A and B are shown apart, each in its own frame.
Chain A
Amino acid sequence: MKNLLAELRTSLLLTLVFAVVLCGAYPLAVWAGAQAFFPRQANGSLVTDAAGNVRGSALLAQSFTSDGYFQPRASAAGTGYDATSSGGTNLGPTSQKLNDSIKAAIAAYRTANGLAADAAVPADAVTSSGSGLDPHISVANALAQSGRVAKARHLTPEAVQQLVAAHTEGRDLGVLGEPRVNVLLLNMALDAASPKAP
C-alpha cells in the first residue's frame, strides 16, 4: 500500500513535470525557432495582393469556377474548400454516389474544355482530394484547361501554356513525389498577365 501511494505520487508529479517540459518548453522552443528562421511558412504561407490583403494560403486550395481561371480539384471539405473542416469524400470504390459524381464531373470537364466525348480525363480533375484542400493539379490537367483559360482571357494558348510551365513544380530533389501545378499561384500570375477580370 505504501508502495502504491508512492508510485501514485510519482505518477502525478511526473505528469506535471512532463506537462511543463513537453507541452510548454518544447512547443515554445519550436515556435521561437520557427518564427525566427521560417516566419512565412510558420504563419501559414499566406499570399497577399498588391493592397496587402490576405487572399489565401499558397498551400490551400480555394474555389475557382469561372472559365478564365484554372480550377482546382473537387473538394469534400465542409461545403467545399472549407479550411476549417478538411477531409475527403470517404466514398469507396463500389459507391454509387461516387460513380455518379465522377460521371457528372467527366461530362462537365469535357464540355468546358472542348474535349472529345470519348477523351480520357485526368484522374485528379474528376476526383476529390484527401484533404479537400489540395492546392495542386496535375500538369496534364492544367494543360487540358489552358485552352479554355486562354480563350476566356483573350490570350494566346502558348502564353497560357508558358505560364503553366513556369508554375510547374518538379519532383522534390528531382525524385520525390509528383510534378504538379499550384492553382492559386498560377491564377494570381494569370491576373497579373491579363489584368482584365475574366
Chain B
Amino acid sequence: MNHPNAWIQFALYVGALLFLTKPLGLYLVQVLDPRGRTWLDPVVRPVERLTYRLCGIDPEKEQAWTGYTLAMLLFSVVGLLFTYVILRLQDHLPLNPQGFPGLSPALAFNTAASFTTNTNWQSYTGEATMSYFSQMVGLTIHNFTSAAMGIAIAAALVRGIARHTAKTIGNFWADTVRVTYYLLVPVCFVFALVLVSQGIIQNFQPYTVAKTYEPYTIQVPKLDAKGNAVTTSVPKTDDKGQALKDDKGQPVMVDQPVMVDQKVDTQTIVQGPVASQIAIKMLGTNGGGYVNANAAHPFENPTPLANFLQILSIFAIPAALTYYLGRMVKNQRHGWAVWGAMFAMFVAGALVCWHSEDAGNPIHQKLGVAAADGNMEGKEVRFGIFNSALFATITTDASCGAVNAMHDSFTPLGGLVPMFNIETGEVIFGGVGAGLYGMLIFVVLAVFIAGLMVGRTPEYLGKKIEAYDVKLVMLVLMVLAATILGGTAWAAVSTWGQAGLNNAGPHGFSEILYAYSSSVGNNGSAFAGLTATPADGDMHYNTTLGLAMLIGRFLMIVPILALAGNLAGKRLIPASAGTFKTEGLTFVLLLVGTVLLVGALTFLPALAIGPVVEHFLMRAGTLF
C-alpha cells in the first residue's frame, strides 16, 4: 500500500465526511421537526402544504408506535404493488422506445421487493429489460421513499430514546414527506446536474446506433423466419471428446443450435434519464443502477471526481444522523461516540480490502501479470485499485450496494470485507436511517452486556433497559442471521442453487452466501456471477431472495418501532456514580466489540468455508 496518492485520497474523503457531519446533522434536526425551519421554506413549504392537503395528512398529529408502524407498512405494500404492476405492464405503458416486454411474475416480484426494501438487488440487466418509464417511475419512486422511510424510522427511534413518559413517536407521513422534500429532492437536483457535467446522461432519446471503426465477426445462433433458434442433431460427447453410446450401441444425439457468422459494425449506445436516478441511488443508499454494470459503467460513474462525490454521498446522511442523535438526546458526545465506532470499523475494513486487492493474485502474477498493478480483473482503469476497494467497503458498510468494480472477481480477502460488512447488519454508517437504527440495536445490547458485567440494571441515557427491550433486540439479530444462513444452506444443497453459480469450489459457495447476506441486509450488491433469473425460468432464487429482502427490512423495522414505543414510555432515572457512560473511548471499544462479536460468532463458520479457505487455496495455487 505504498501509494502516497491513495493515502491523500483517503484523507480527503475522511476530511470531507467529517466536515459534512455537523452542518447536515443540524439541518436534519430542522427537517425532522414538523415545525422546523429551513432556508428552503419559501419554495418547498407550499408544495409540502399542498401534499398534506391532497393526501389528508395532519402533520401535527403524532402517532403511537402502532400507528406509525401501520402507516409505514401500508405505504410499503401500496408502493410494492404499484411497482409490480408497472413492471408487469411496461409494454402497455409509455416511454418504452426499445419495445421491451413486461417482466415475468417472479422477476417483477423480486424487483418490486428489492426496490421497496431499499435493497435494489438487480436480478435483471437494466439496459436490456427496463423501459424508461419503469426506471423513472416504477423504480425511482422507491429510491426516494425507501430512503425517506429509513430516515423517518431512525428519527422515530431517536425520539423514543429522547422522550420520556410519552405515548407517541412522531408522525410517519410528515417525517417521510419532509425528508423527501427538504433533504432528498433539493440535494439530488444539484447533485444530478454535477454528475451530468462529468458525463452521466440525461435524455429521453432512443438508443443511439454508432458506426464503429473496426467491424468484427461474432457467432450467433441462426434463427428461422419465426425468430426461433435453428438446431441440428449432433452426437453427444463426454468430457474427453468420445461419442456417447446408449444401451443399444447407438450414438446419443442432442440438439445443438446452428451458429452463423454475424458481422458487427455498429455499437448501440444506451440512452435515458440516468443522472436523476443515479443521484438518489447514491444519496439514498439504494444502489440499484440504471445499467447492469452499475457504477462501473462509464455512463453511471464517468470520472474519479464523480466517483468521489458518489461515495461521499453514500455516507453523508448516515454520518449526519449520528449528529442528529447527539443533538436530540442532548448528549453530543454520545453522538460522536457512535460516529467514532462506525469510523473505526470503516477504516479497518477499507485497509484490509485495499491491501488484499493491491497485493493481487499470486496465481496470475506467476503467469506474468505485473505484480505492482494489483488485481485488476473486474476493475476500471480510471478508478484503479484504491478507489475500487474504497467503494466496495463503503457501499457495503452502508446498505447502498452500488458497485464500481465486480466484487465477484475480488481476491478472497478483498471480497470477504464487503461480505462481512453486510453481515454486521450494515451499521458502519449504514444505510440512510437503517444504519443508525441498526447501530442503536447494538448500543442497547452493549449497554445490556456492560450492565451484566457489573451486576447492575442496565441504563441507556437515563432509561432502564429491561427484559422486553433486550428480547426485541435479540429478535432482530436472530431473525436476520437465521434468514441469511438458512437461505444459504438451502440454496447450497439444492440443484437450483448450484445451477445459478458462475464459479466452482469455495468461490461458488461465497456467491450464494453473498446473495443471501446482501438480500437480508438490504444491500443489493452481489457476487454478480450468480444468475438469479435463469433461462429455464426457475423461480427459486428470485422468490427466496425477494422474501429474504422483505424479512430483512420489515422484521427489523417492526421490532425497532416497538422498541421506540417502549422506550418513549419509560420514566427517567437520575444518573448515579454507577451509571455506565455511553461516551468516550471505553464505550466506543465496547460497541465495536459487540458488533464484531455478534457478527463474527454468527458468520465465522460460513465465512471459513467460503472466502477464508479460498484464500489459502489461492496461495497454494489451486484452481477450480
Contact = CB atoms under 8 A, between A and B. Distances in A.
B495 to A, nearest CB: 21
A178 B382 contact: yes
Contact of B364 (A18, A31, A102): A102
Given A22-B185, A106-B367, A15 B380 contact: no
A134 B380 contact: yes
B307 A95 contact: no
A81 B55 contact: no
A106 B368 contact: yes
Interface stretch (B204-212, B249-257, B471-479, B561-569): B204-212
A12 to B, nearest CB: 6
A161 interface: no
A127 B381 contact: no
A59 B208 contact: no
A11 B56 CA distance: 10
A136 interface: yes
B363 A93 contact: yes
Given A91-B529, A177-B303, A129 B381 contact: yes
Given A10-B57, A59-B302, A41 B212 contact: no
B49 to A, nearest CB: 12
A53 B512 CA distance: 46
A98 interface: yes
Contact of B378 (A89, A103, A187, A191): A89
B622 A55 contact: no
Which range holds the interface residue count of chain B?
Answer: 35 or more
B136 A23 contact: yes
B618 A93 contact: yes
Contacts of A99: 363-364, 367, 623
B75 interface: yes
Nearest to A86: B293
A178 B213 contact: no
A46 B411 CA distance: 35
B296 A131 contact: yes
Nearest to B379: A130
B498 to A, nearest CB: 15
A135 B370 contact: no
B127 interface: yes
B371 interface: yes
A80 B504 CA distance: 24
A93 B381 contact: no
B376 A10 contact: no
Nearest to B503: A92
Residue with the highest number of chain A CB atoms closer than 10 Å, among B125, B180, B296, B614: B296
B210 A46 contact: yes
B572 to A, nearest CB: 31
Contacts, number: 393
Interface stretch (B158-166, B228-236, B270-278, B581-589): B270-278
Contacts of A3: 67, 70
Nearest to A45: B199
B429 interface: no
Contact of A83 (B192, B270, B502): B270
Contact of B82 (A15, A27, A29, A132): A15
A92 B409 contact: yes
Residue from A65, A69, A84, A177 having most chain B Cβ neighbours under 10 A: A177
B600 interface: no
A34 B193 contact: yes
B313 interface: no
B332 interface: no
Contact of A90 (B185, B208, B211, B527): B527
Nearest to B138: A23
Nearest to A69: B214
A133 to B, nearest CB: 6
A55 to B, nearest CB: 6
B70, B369, B371, B415, most chain A CB atoms within 10 A: B369
A138 B273 contact: no
B528 interface: yes
Contacts of B528: 87-88, 90
A177 B40 CA distance: 35
A146 interface: no
A16 to B, nearest CB: 9
Given A30-B279, A176-B308, 5 more contacts: A26-B189, A83-B267, A96-B624, A131-B380, A173-B305
Closest A-B pairs by Cβ, 4 of them:
A177-B304, A90-B529, A130-B296, A123-B373
